[in-house]
Amino acid sequence: MSRSELSVSRWLEAHTDRGAGLTTLPRNAILTDIVGNGDYHLVITDLKLDNDTKSRLKVYKGTLMTHDQALSNTPNSVISFYADLNEPRIPVVGVACGSELFLYKNLKPFYKCKVPSCPLSEQESELWKTLMEKQDFNSEDIIKELKKIPFSLLSSRSQHILNLESPLKIEEYIRKYINSMPTKENVITCMSTIEKTTHDKYSVNCPIIGTEFGNIYILDPQNFSILHQANTCNVKATPFIIECSGLYDIEFRIIVACREGYICILRKGWLEGKSLIQITNDIVDMVLIPGDNFITVATADKGLHCYTKRGQKLWSATTTNSITCLCLVPLDHINMYMVAVGMKNGLIHLYHGRHLTDFTVAPDTPSVIVFGPVGQEENVMVIVTMGGTISFKILKRTADFSNRNHESVPVLQGKPLPLPKRSKLFLEQSLRERQSAVEIHQTFQQDLLRLRLTTARALVQNLSDQSGVGNEKENIKLSAQVLGLGPKFTVILTLENINPNKVLTGLSVTFHSNPIFYTLTTYIITVPLIPPSLSYKMETRVQETMSETSSETSVAELEPAGVKVIRVFVTRYDHPRPILAATINMPPTEFMV
């Protein structure tokens, strides 16, 4: 049985459709019981960013797309929640497009609510008011006026004017809209839901909306009026992921990830959120682990970080590839929560806490991962990739995530370093360092200079001595060996190419000796090509001339030390100067008695 085999994947490849052509973003796919009969469907938005095609809302029943309808604007996120207790329990699907939230029941639109628009800045409203009154204007003056106001604070109409090129077009545009005041749309950037009174699969949920200007709205699930309104943070922060825990009626925490790198917390009754964590890198995705309420954040530098609900960092891990999305994988039957981490190139890692417990592979980089029930199956992972592929993976019933394999994963962080206790010696030393810092530093500098001097001296010494041993510039090394007792000797020369990359060519070895003492078999040897890091051996036979006269007459020609020598020169064909020269001290012939 494959139950205990770890090599076998825990996931069944149920279905992959490479031709689905879906373009979607995180938080744009949900699994919900759309008809209310326990058959879970995938509701997903298909983004079309061209001007002439509209984005679509698609519904998959199992592996088949059963529903496809156009959306009025580019969707931002999709939620589903139970709005009432009426039987049969049919959830409401909410799709945020621009500053509007469209609500569907049974896949039919039934309500639209609009986020209140922002007040215009004083200067801008003044400008438009005067325009309305006068009905006459100079477009250049208007441009000048508008440019005084920060671009991000302008209404979209004024922004559009600044982006227009020709003054003619500007005039035409202003004429068209001169009789109405512009509005500053508060675009929805993210959504979530929070349970109202009970923790339950079918409990009533309130939608939560985050907007471009940092407002958080909690809506009433029945009439969609604003129950509570708050700001994300005391500084300018644009929320882009909202996660929440708790119950709206009792106590709740809303964790908001902002584009500026803040993670803010908002609790019941607060009118303004508090910055909990500040991350220097860009936040890619965030999930809240139920139970402990740990915040798991993926950053753009391949980092996966986990914080407690109070903002203390618990652990960090580095993934192999850049993270594109996260997804909570709750496994109710074994009471375990995991986080699926989708990465570039299609790898999906599953983390349980800081431990990497499992992995699976998508056809290419996943853009959205959702996990939950699909149709009759409970544990299904749906992956939509950047390439538009939709892929369904089913977790095996026999999948075993027990702790056994955790031991093999090294614990990277968490444990403090095993620092020894501060001893008396350490304290004295640190005290001394503090008291006489200048002297210690000067002594250190002196020693350092001395060390450098010694090194330089040794180098000079070496360079002057080394002529016979090797040539660093040419990267060759020569060694000689004299075999024999005499009067016949064999000299073995080894020429080594030290350069690991380049070959040695065009070398020859010349022997030089006093012909009175020695006769050699060869005086010039042509060295063939020596490959990098290899050596070439050559030998020559030496015969000592044993004439009586020579030993007497040529005493003056002996080397100062009184030894006979043979000189070796390594030369390059085209160079008159030898690149290496060495002197071989020949041993005196030991006469047999």
Cβ atoms of 295 and 315 closer than 8 Å: no
Nearer to another protein, 88 or 269 (CB): 88
Out of 199, 333, 441, 450, point to the residue binding another protein (CB under 8 A): 333
What does the alpha-carbon distance between residue 111 and residue 129 come to, in Å, rounded to a whole number? 33
Return the number of the residue (332 or 548) whose C-beta is nearest another protein. Answer: 332
Q: Which is closer to another protein, CB of 3 or CB of 441?
A: 3
Q: Where are the beta strands (DSSP E) in 283-365?
A: 283-289, 294-299, 303-307, 313-318, 323-331, 336-343, 347-352, 355-361
**By C-beta, is 204 or 390 nearer to another protein?**
390
Minimum gap (Å) between residue 47 Cβ and another protein: 25
Amino acid at 165: E
* Residue of the chain from 9, 12, 121, 569 that contacts another protein (CB under 8 A): 12
| Window 279-318: contact mask with another protein (x via CB under 8 A) | ----------------------------------------
Q: Which stretch binds another protein (CB under 8 A): 311-319, 351-359, 394-402, 571-579?
A: 394-402
Q: Does 1 bind another protein (CB under 8 A)?
A: yes
> With CB under 8 A as the contact rule, which of the stretches 25-33, 60-68, 575-583, 584-592 interacts with another protein?
60-68
Rounded Cα gap, residues 391 and 342, in angstroms: 13
Q: How far apart, in whole angstroms, are the C-alpha atoms of residue 471 and residue 211?
A: 73
* Residues between 359 and 378 with contacts to another protein, criterion CB under 8 A: 374-378
Please tell me whether residue 13 binds another protein under the rule CB under 8 A: yes
Closest by alpha carbon to 30, among 113, 96, 114?
96
Residue with tokens 């529903």: 67
How many residues bind another protein, per CB under 8 A? 20
CB of 378 to another protein, least distance (A): 6
For the record, the structure tokens of 131 come out as 């325009």
- Check residue 480 for interaction with another protein (CB under 8 A): no
Applying CB under 8 A, does 271 fall inside the site for another protein? no
Q: How far is CA 304 from CA 253, 538, 587, in A?
A: 22, 62, 72
Name residue 520's beta-bridge partners: 542
- Residue closer to another protein, measured from CB, 3 or 169: 3
Q: Which of 64, 417, 419, 438 binds another protein (CB under 8 A)?
A: 64
The least CB distance from residue 107 to another protein, in Å, is 19
Residue with tokens 């064999």: 490
Matching residue, tokens 């040419």: 474
Residue with tokens 């994963």: 409
Report how far residue 43's alpha carbon sits from residue 429's, in angstroms, rounded to the nearest whole number: 68
Tokens 């039987």 appear where? 87
Structure tokens at 187: 């675009």
Residue of 95, 257, 265, 394 that binds another protein (CB under 8 A):
394
Binding site for another protein (CB under 8 A): 1, 12-15, 62-64, 333, 374-378, 380, 392, 394, 396-398
